Amino acid sequence: MRYENTLAAARSLDAQDPLRHFRKQFIFPSHTDSLTLGETISMGSPGRNDIRYFCGNSLGLQPKAIRQALLNELDQWAEHGVEGHFRGEYPWMHYHKFLTQQTARLVGALPHEVVVMNTLTVNLHLMMASFYRPTSTRYKIVMEAGAFPSDQYAMESQARWHGLDPETAIVEVTPRDGEEVLRTEDILQVIEDQGESVALVMFSGVNYYTGQFYDLESITKAGHHVGAKVGFDLAHAAGNLPMKLHDWGPDFAVWCSYKYLNSGPGGPSGAFIHERHANAPDLPRFAGWWGHDEAERFKMKKGFHPMYGAEGWQLSNAQIFSFAAHKASLDIFDAAGIENLRAKSLRLTAFMEQVLTEADGGRNLFKVITPSAPTQRGCQMSLLTDDRGKAIFDFLAENGIIADWREPNVIRFAPVPLYNSFEDVFMLGEKIKAYKG
Ligand SMILES: *Cc1c(COP(=O)(O)O)cnc(C)c1O
């Protein structure tokens, strides 16, 4: 489908958007040196200036509700001191449980399959402590080439931790010559070819650089078919796309909450551990008191007995302030519905793809490397540029477009359905047209 690429048409799409009201629940950054060009156009009250924010894949915008949520916890502490663990609307003692239902809905899991704890890379290591158990014959990790650096370092250090050489233990799946993204068939073939040497298949859900959404169900099947464990890093998928983790069946998944989930810088991580491992007290893990059977958590006895399900992987008591922010943000996701967000996202991303292409106008300023198939992407567009790339990026930044630059030569834009508008996307196109490089 082709969209009419005019301001009036973009505004009309916004007027018909059933999710348009959510934009008002977010605070848009303002900078004063923005919008040196053109008219000032505002829709509703997006912010003090006309900033077009496309960085929700890096740090989601602040939900207005978070301020009060944090104040509530400060009040709870002020009023009750240590008794805050047991009193108030959300006693701290059980705080992680207040996040469970919403988290499960968000990623398509059963409630006992998810827990919010720690931060992402920490959880990745905790999951690997349980699910990467190399032997002399089955020891390899199959992952995508060009994974997020933290994941690369995690895999590499896990291999070394087990006395293995990452060069031989890690098998990366790379795009074909002349291609930028992976073909599912190639991923499945590598897993099949590596066969019984594979201990773990570890992929991101959406690749941070290209924006490619992998076929997680097929990857899970292929991994399990060769007898490997399967794990996913959903940092760029959680809150971006609906998922069915329970049905797809990976052994574990982890994600962060400060990108599409808008829970603030350094926000807590979520973890999924499939039900098949829910009652596995013998599965090796790094334990802490919060993972211990809650009925006797405070008996201070020797001998670790894990909680049933994902809660059995917790180490520490809840980080109340960041969890409170996360909860306020999850409330918004619940109100919007991830399926509704996806429906809008499909249209908004398609519109952006068209706007970008038309704004380039045959100048070959960039090439979109994110897959064009909607099933293979969420709400991110990655543009591969050449030596003009940084100048284009800087020009856009000076003109109120907040995007991000990834070395060596990619500009990423995320049209986030919760708070971005069709008008935002239209205006991005106008700024690109105004670039005369
Ligand atoms: C953002 C991101 C991270 C960041 O990890 P933290 O532990 O939260 O700092 C890790 N992995 C991926 C794939 C990411 O996108």
Instruction: Note the pLDDT tens digit of each residue in 187-198.
Output: 999 999 999 999
330, pLDDT greater than 50: yes
pLDDT above 50: residue 17: yes
Q: Using 50, 70 and 90 to split pLDDT, how confident is the model at 41?
A: very low
Give distance in angstroms: CA of 202 to centre of ligand 1.
14
Q: Per-residue DSSP letters for 245-311?
A: HHHH--SEEEE-SSSTT---TTPPEEEEE-GGGTT-TTS-----GGGB-GGGGGG--SS--BPSSGG
Which segment of 40-44, 348-352, 424-428 scores lowest on mean pLDDT? Answer: 40-44
Question: Percent of the chain at pLDDT above 70?
Answer: 96
- First-to-last C-alpha distance (Å) of the chain: 31
* pLDDT reported for residue 31: 66
The domains of the chain are located at 7-50+338-434, 70-335
Quick check: 324 and 98 in contact, CB under 8 A? no
* List of long-range contacts for 120-124, beta carbons under 8 Å, 24+ apart: 120/150, 120/233, 120/235, 120/254, 120/255, 120/256, 120/269, 121/150, 121/151, 121/154, 122/269, 123/254, 123/269, 123/271, 124/150, 124/151, 124/154, 124/233, 124/254
Distance of CA 262 to the CA centre of its chain: 10
Q: Whose CA is nearest to atom 10 of ligand 1?
A: 150
Each residue's pLDDT tens digit, 194-211: 999 999 999 999 999 999
Instruction: Give the DSSP letter string of 38-94.
Output: S-----SS--SS--EE-BTTTSPPEETHHHHHHHHHHHHHHHHGGGGGTSSSS-GGG
pLDDT of residue 94: 94
**Is the model's pLDDT at 153 over the cut of 50?**
yes
Ligand 1 pocket test: pick from 116, 121, 232, 326 the residue with the most ligand atoms within 8 Å of its Cβ.
Answer: 121
Ligand 1 pocket test, candidate residues 118, 208, 212, most atoms within 8 A of CB: 208
pTM for this model (two decimals): 0.95
Where does 70-335 sit in CATH, by number?
3.40.640.10
Q: Looking at the predicted structure, is the pLDDT value of residue 104 above 50?
A: yes
pLDDT at res. 184: 98
Which pLDDT score, from 0 to 100, does residue 49 have?
55
CATH ID of 7-50+338-434, from 3.90.1150.10, 3.40.1190.20, 3.30.365.10, 3.30.1330.30: 3.90.1150.10
Q: What is 306-318 written as a DSSP string?
A: BPSSGGGG--S--
pLDDT in tens, 253-298: 999 999 999 999 999 999 999 999 999 999 999 999 999 999 988 8
Match 């720690």 to its residue by tokens.
Answer: 118
Cβ(261)–Cβ(267) below 8 Å: yes
Q: Which atom of ligand 1 is nearest to the CA of 259?
A: 1
